[in-house]
Structures are given as C-alpha cells and as structure tokens.
Amino acid sequence: MPSTNSSSTRAQNAAREEVLSQLKEDHKKVKKAYKQFEKLDVNEDPQECEALVQQVLDDLTLHAALEEEFLYPAVKDLIAEPDLIEEAEIEHESMHTAIDQLRGMSAGDEKYAARFTVLCEYVLHHVKEEEGEMFPQLARVKLDWEAISQEMAQRRSEARGEGPGAQMQGAETDEAAMGSDDAEPSRGKGSRAGR
C-alpha cells in the first residue's frame, strides 16, 4: 500500500501541473486572439475588433488577479529568484493601466488598434519571461498547490458567473464574454487601420 506521503506528493504535483497548465492556456488564448486581431481591419470590422479586445481584456484581468492574489504571494519567498515576482508585479501594474485605457476607448478611437497591439506585445514579453524563467522555478517549489489550484478554480467559476461572488472586481466576465478558443473571425483579410 503506498504511503500517505507519496500520495500527497503526487496530488501536490498534479495540482501544481494543473495551475501552471491553466496559466499557460490563458497565455495561448491571448496569443491566439492577438493573431486574430491582426487579421481584422478596425475600420471595416469595428464591432468584431471591440468584441475580441473586450474578451482579451476580461481574460487578462482574470488571469492577472489569479496570479496576484494566489500565486505570487505564495511563491515569492520560495523561488530561487524572488525578484522575478517583483518584476512580474510591476509588469502587471503597467498591463492594468493599458487595460483601463482600452476599456475607455472604442474601435473608432485613433489609437485603439495601436494601444491594443502594444498591450499584446507587452503581455507576450511578460509571458516569455514567466514561462521561461519563473515557471521552471515553480516546478521545484513545495507548497500547498492543491489549495492554490482550488482557489484559482473557484475564482474562475465565479468570474464566469458559475458560483457565489460572481461579480469579481474589474472583470465583468461571463461565459459569453470569455469567448471560445474555437471562435474564428468572420472576416480574416485586411490589415488594421493605423499600421
């Protein structure tokens, strides 16, 4: 019969993998949406552009909240390079500023496409650092990954309107707003205005 310690270790490892895999999946959604946005023309497809941007802003807001509230505080003093967490927190501050600016804009605004492009490129740089430097260190951190996984799953459910406390501050998301990874834009040709 396997020891309780061995079962516990396996459960913690599985929970850690679930947390990191969900965060990586969030990263992929942003990359995919950005590629879709690049194929659209803001002048010809303003509603489609705005819907895609809103989806990304909602997804990023939720993703950042999960990292800021559950992951970063738990691992900050446990990873080999704690300054990676401080840098990530500062990068999140800049990201939140860009998100707030875009939430106050529409596709008709002159710098809408440019601002969204800069946000996405900034986020993709952040993702590269996170996945290349921070996540490998997290693979060696021992903590209650099961609790973090459960808290993140609960927050995701609430943000989608699936549980108590569904109104998450700053993330007016519901299942439709989160969008589907399989959704393709109806028009794929042309370039964004202002490029």
DSSP string, 129-156: HIIIIIHHHHTT--S-HHHHHHHHHHHH
Q: How confident is the model at residue 116 (pLDDT cuts 50, 70, 90)?
A: very high
pLDDT of residue 47: 96
More confident residue, 190 or 121: 121
The answer to whether residue 182 sits within a structural domain is: no
- Average pLDDT estimate for 59-88: 95
- Average pLDDT estimate for 54-66: 97
In angstroms, rounded to a whole number, what is the distance separating the alpha carbons of residues 32 and 175?
18
Q: Is 22 exposed, middle or buried (0-12, 13-18, 19+ CB in 10 A)?
A: middle
In angstroms, rounded to a whole number, what is the distance separating the alpha carbons of residues 40 and 24?
25
Cβ-contact 137, 80 below 8 angstroms: yes
The answer to whether residue 170 sits within a structural domain is: no
On the question of pLDDT at 25 being above 80, the answer is yes
Q: Which of 69-83, 123-137, 158-172 has the lowest mean pLDDT?
A: 158-172
Q: Which of 120, 93, 95 is nearest to 32 (CA)?
A: 120
- The proportion of the chain whose per-residue pLDDT surpasses 90, expressed as a percent, equals 74
The answer to whether residue 50 sits within a structural domain is: yes
The answer to whether residue 54 sits within a structural domain is: yes
Apex CA 145: angle with CA 32 and CA 7, to 5°? 120
pLDDT of residue 72: 96
The answer to whether residue 189 sits within a structural domain is: no
Per the structure, the count of domains in the chain is: 1
pLDDT of residue 39: 96
On the question of pLDDT at 134 being above 90, the answer is yes
- Supply the pTM of this predicted model: 0.79
The answer to whether residue 171 sits within a structural domain is: no
The answer to whether residue 98 sits within a structural domain is: yes
More confident residue, 185 or 67: 67
- The proportion of the chain whose per-residue pLDDT surpasses 70, expressed as a percent, equals 81
Cβ-contact 92, 64 below 8 angstroms: yes
Q: Return the H-helix or E-strand segment holding 3.
A: none
pLDDT of residue 146: 96
The answer to whether residue 30 sits within a structural domain is: yes
Cβ-contact 41, 175 below 8 angstroms: no
Domain limits at 49? 10-161
On the question of pLDDT at 100 being above 80, the answer is yes
Apex CA 131: angle with CA 31 and CA 86, to 5°? 110
Q: Return the H-helix or E-strand segment holding 120.
A: helix 112-129
